[in-house]
Amino acid sequence: MGNVLIVGDLHGNTGHALASVQVAARNDCAKMFVVGDFGAWEHMLSGRRYFDVVSKAAKRAGVIVYFLDGNHDKSSLLHEMYDGKRDDEGFLICRKFLRYAPRGHRWTWEGTTFAAFGGARSTDKGWRLARESRKEEQAERRRRYGSLRQSDASGTLWFPEEEMTDDELDALLEADSSPVDVLLTHDKPRASRPKFNRKDRPECFPNQDRIQRVVQTLRPGLHVHGHLHFRYTESISCGGDRWTRVEGLGADPDASQYPGYDNEDSWMVLQLPYATELLADAASGKAG
Ligand SMILES: [Fe+2]
Ligand SMILES: [Fe+2]
């Protein structure tokens, strides 16, 4: 059970989350790691239930589920609720079998070093803010007629903490800039060129540039990310003659618009300890 199943965006899709836990168990993975847009919505009852259900299924399967934050996770609330509850490796314990890796977190599994950097820019930010204010107007009307005591729709659909700031990243890299074997993020590095949903938009570039900076500082052999809802593999330079193999993972089927989508696009098995010869393969072009 030394392997890790790395899983793309779940967006609170319970069926796909539970299917992924089963895939982890079938592939000798005692750990499953979701690379953001997990569905951390504990400001809602349905979000709290989702956490409960995933943790219980993980317990039954003998798997611990970990995740980092995507743009659609309310990470401020995770910190508020669980900063004081950490396991021996520094993960925040949200449920007994469900743990959150905050931005810049580092750990070692089976001799393989990891770092996690969550966050990304929402391209539908305007739509989400408009919907929040419509909900707020409706609540205001109900408040006036006495059918609702209190409501605050802000921070329910769009989360102001969604992307890292430059200051946040500076502080994280200043605290520790040593290399890692495996980098896990939500957003893509600026340099990768997938053929679908590349998010080549000016508002997305600052955070992609931050992830690129992380790649060039930590120089991982492997970098796995989500957010594009598209499965691709590519090698990018991480400085000098070193190369990083980038694996973009697909999302849950409800969020997948790529025509050739298959459930298997949304996960990959990482065997530990991570085979560093992949790095040499990538450098020589064998790893596509
Ligand atoms: Fe997503
Ligand atoms: Fe995302």
Q: How many Å lie between the centroid of ligand 1 and the Cα of residue 14?
A: 15
Same domain, 150 and 172: no
Which ligand is in closest contact with the Cα of 252? 1
> What's the number of domains the chain is made of?
2
Whether residues 102 and 194 share a domain: the answer is yes
**The predicted structure's pLDDT at residue 138:** 87
Give me the mean pLDDT over the 244-271 stretch.
96
Note whether 155 and 43 are within 8 A (CB).
yes
> Which ligand gives the minimal distance to the CA of 256?
1
For residue 190, tell me if it sits in a domain.
yes
Which two tokens mark 203?
């508002």
% of residues, the chain, pLDDT over 90: 86
Is 27 in the same domain as 112? yes
249 alpha carbon to ligand 2 midpoint, in Å? 11
Domain that residue 78 falls in: 3-121+160-283
Question: Do residues 99 and 65 lie in contact, with contact meaning Cβ atoms separated by under 8 Å?
Answer: yes
pLDDT at 213 > cutoff 80: yes
Q: 92-95 and 98-100: which strand pairing?
A: antiparallel
Domain match, 146 and 188 both: no
- pLDDT tens digit string along 122-155? 999 999 999 999 998 888 888 788 766 556 788 8
Confidence of residue 168 (pLDDT cuts 50, 70, 90): very high
Q: Is 288 part of any domain?
A: no
Q: Judge contact between 186 and 118, C-beta under 8 A.
A: yes
Together in a domain, 180 and 76: yes
Q: 76: buried, middle or exposed (CB in 10 Å: 19+, 13-18, 0-12)? A: middle
Which of the ligands is closest to the CA of residue 163?
Answer: 2
Question: 222 in a domain, yes or no?
Answer: yes
Q: Looking at the structure, tell me whether residues 36 and 153 fall in a common domain.
A: no
In the reported structure, the alpha carbon of residue 84 is separated from the centroid of ligand 2 by a whole-number distance in angstroms of: 27
Q: What is the CATH number of the domain that holds 25?
A: 3.60.21.10
Expressed in angstroms and rounded, the spacing between residue 72 Cα and the centre of ligand 1 is: 7
